[in-house]
Every structure is written in structure tokens, then in C-alpha cells.
Amino acid sequence: MAYETTIAEQRAVRRRHGGVPRPGASQAFSFLYFAYIVVPVTAGVDKYFHYLVDWNIYVSPAYASLVGGNVPRLMDGVGVAEILAGVIVALRPRLGGWIVAAWLWGIIINLLLIPGYFDIALRDFGLSLGALAMASLAKEVEP
């Protein structure tokens, strides 16, 4: 029922704007869409090469214990998940935005378990809000 209301609201907005999304919304969506494809895929690929950073230092002992302390193996899985998240954003941005936001919340929890990484947790919270904004804008700009 709520989904039908959302569709009706989308159609009403499009009728008011000549059947097309508002230019500002479309442009904002495009920026976020690009970012939430490129950034997760780039970070995911770098989990294997560690060119940008040694990602293993960002794993809390609690998360490391999930794989018996084998942090490199955990980060391999994280890399695959991040690449998939970027692909999902590319194909289904409304769904992908929520997946990226949820993924970032998992990263935030991990970072809050490590003293000294609270600034990165705060940055990732901001990124999660951007992912939610992209998912919300996708309702307006997707056909």
C-alpha cells in the first residue's frame, strides 16, 4: 500500500514538472550515483592490492574474531562485498543506496570498536547519509 502511494507521489511530481525530474534533483542524483559506483568498486579492488592504504589496520579485534583472526581473508570478502555493492548501485540505485548505507553502518560499528578511528567513523556516517540521499533521489529520476 505504501509503495502505491510512493508511485502516485512520483507521478504527481513528474506531472508538475512536465513529466521529467527537476534539474537540480537529477544533477544531484547523477553526482551521487557516480560516486557510489566508483568509490565502493575502487575500495573493493584495493582490498587486494593495498595501494591506497593497508586496509587490515582498520579491522577491530571483534570483527577479526569472526574469521578466526585471519584479517587478510576477511578483507578479501569485504572487497568482494564492496565491488558487488557498487555493481548493485549501478543496476538498481534505489536498492543499492540502502545496501551501501547499511554496509557503511557495519563499518562504523567496527571503527567505533577501535580507539583512534572515531573521525573515520564520523566520515563514514556522512557517506551513509549520501547513499540514502541517492536512494531517495532515485525515486524521482528513475523511469
Would 134 be classed as within a structural domain?
yes
Residue 37 belongs to some domain of the structure:
yes
Question: What pLDDT sits at residue 78?
Answer: 97
Structural domain of 46 = 23-141
Q: Indicate whether 30 belongs to any domain.
A: yes
Residue 10: inside a domain: no
For residue 60, being part of any structural domain is answered with yes
Closest CA to 100 of 117, 81, 79, 115: 81
What is the per-residue pLDDT across 75-112, written as a single tens digit (0 to 9) for each?
Answer: 999 999 999 999 999 999 999 999 999 999 999 999 99
- Using CA atoms, how far residue 39 sits from 58, 62, 89, 90, 134, in Å, is 17, 25, 11, 12, 14
Q: What is the pLDDT of residue 141?
A: 84
Confidence band (pLDDT; 50, 70, 90) for 1?
A: very low
pLDDT of residue 24: 82
Q: How many domains does the chain have?
A: 1
Q: Is residue 2 part of a domain?
A: no
b/e map of 104-139 (b: 16 or more CB within 10 Å)? beebbebbeebeebeeebeebeebbebbbbbbebbb
Q: pTM score, two decimals?
A: 0.82
